[in-house]
Structure 1
Amino acid sequence: MVTLGRKSLVSLGAVILLLLATFAAAEAPAAKKRGPVTNLPLPRYVSLKATKANVRRGPSRTHRIDWVFTRKSMPLQITAEYGHWRRVRDIEGAGGWIHYSLLSGVRTVIVQKDMLPLAVRPGEKVAAAAHLEHGVIAKLEECNPDWCRLNAGGYKGWVLKEELWGVEAGEIRD
């Protein structure tokens, strides 16, 4: 029989509590980070509202302009917020700070495969309403676990989610 003193029991209890807390944290789903200004999830996707948007080195007009986005409706990923400024990145990973007034909540995506079939309904062996070229920007309408419904140049249809940039792998949209 082992006899433990009062100090040993307190230490043992602390170790057990620490282990329980560690296991509970490992089992809990990861909480998505929220923006400090909007309380919206980070990262998240938006689109470029303007036909011309200065991308700055920091979150103010006094920071240097690194480049200019010139493709209206281009999807961008917001990675940070500061006041009226959003840090964004594009499909190539280029990023910087943009004033929030130049961004739109309308969701768009970029096609990442050339001649991607736009199917009339979700499925591998389904007739195509059209074929989309690599780099086409389309409006994102809805998504199930594997497929997304797009509107591209008046053509509507479904494509595999993995062929798009501007939508998360597990994202569901109604």
Structure 2
Amino acid sequence: MWRFVLVLAVLGALWGGAAAAQETDTPVTTDKPPEKQCQPDIGCVTNLPLPRFVSLKGSEGNARRGPGLTHRIDWVFTRAGMPLKITAEYENWRRVEDFEGAGGWVHYSLLSGVRTALVTLDMAEFLDAPEDKGTVIAQAELGVIARVLECSSEWCRVAIEGQRGWVRKSSIWGVKPDEIIE
């Protein structure tokens, strides 16, 4: 019986306090932090720039219509290391797209910060130095995935199956045109 009276007393105090606040026009405060204001081109969750490039961690990743497991799967990425562009963030979900613009919302655990690039030019030439008159040390077919090691303003040094060389940024997708990677 005393528990019931105590519960009624607590509820009465809470209800009475809210009613008193309404009667005196005193704002009712909550312990919730204010809504976080997002900045353009900055992710609200990670504070990292948007868009930015990452890669697919495993050999398969579901891209969903919305950020959550209840949303329909629209696309399945099936190549480990595939470069993806993050365009938005929501809690543990990242909206990504591939070279062709296909994509959706992917759980962040399926993504890696390892930078990769997709060769977009058939028989792209990889040179021993970041200059047009360098020696060709390898060629890669359209669609090959390379690991990005570093990038200057116009060139990226990449690794493909043990071969390392410099390739023009215009021959790959997975780095921004103005991005420098050291």
Unaligned runs of 5+ in 2: 1-38
Give the secondary structure class of the aligned counterpart of 1:110. strand
Choose from 61, 64, 71 the match for 1:53: 61
Rounded to whole Å, the distance in 1 between the matches of 2:68 and 2:150 is: 35
Q: Which amino acid aligns with 1:119?
A: L
Rounded to whole Å, the distance in 2 between the matches of 1:72 and 1:131 is: 21
Matched ranges for 1:50-129 at <5 A: 50-129=58-137
Rounded to whole Å, the distance in 2 between the matches of 1:126 and 1:42 is: 34
Rounded to whole Å, the distance in 2 between the matches of 1:71 and 1:127 is: 30
Rounded to whole Å, the distance in 2 between the matches of 1:32 and 1:113 is: 32
Give the secondary structure class of the aligned counterpart of 1:50. coil
Rounded to whole Å, the distance in 2 between the matches of 1:131 and 1:80 is: 34
**CA RMSD of the aligned region, Å?**
1.1
Rounded to whole Å, the distance in 2 between the matches of 1:56 and 1:161 is: 30
Moved over 2 A (4+): none
**TM-score w.r.t. length of structure 2:** 0.77
Computing the radius of gyration from Cα coordinates, the structure with the larger value is: 2
Structure 1 counterpart of 2:159: 151
| 8 Å contact kept, 2:74–2:103 | no
Query: Residue 32 of structure 1: CA displacement?
Result: 6.1
| 8 Å contact kept, 1:32–1:41 | no
Unaligned runs of 5+ in 1: 1-30
Rounded to whole Å, the distance in 1 between the matches of 2:138 and 2:40 is: 36
Rounded to whole Å, the distance in 2 between the matches of 1:116 and 1:157 is: 11
Rounded to whole Å, the distance in 1 between the matches of 2:68 and 2:144 is: 31
Q: Which amino acid aligns with 2:88?
A: A
Give the secondary structure class of the aligned counterpart of 2:170. helix
Give the secondary structure class of the aligned counterpart of 2:63. strand
Rounded to whole Å, the distance in 2 between the matches of 1:69 and 1:152 is: 20
| 8 Å contact kept, 2:125–2:136 | yes
| 8 Å contact kept, 2:146–2:159 | yes
Once the two structures are aligned, what percentage of the paired residues are identical?
58
Query: Residue 64 of structure 1: CA displacement?
Result: 0.6
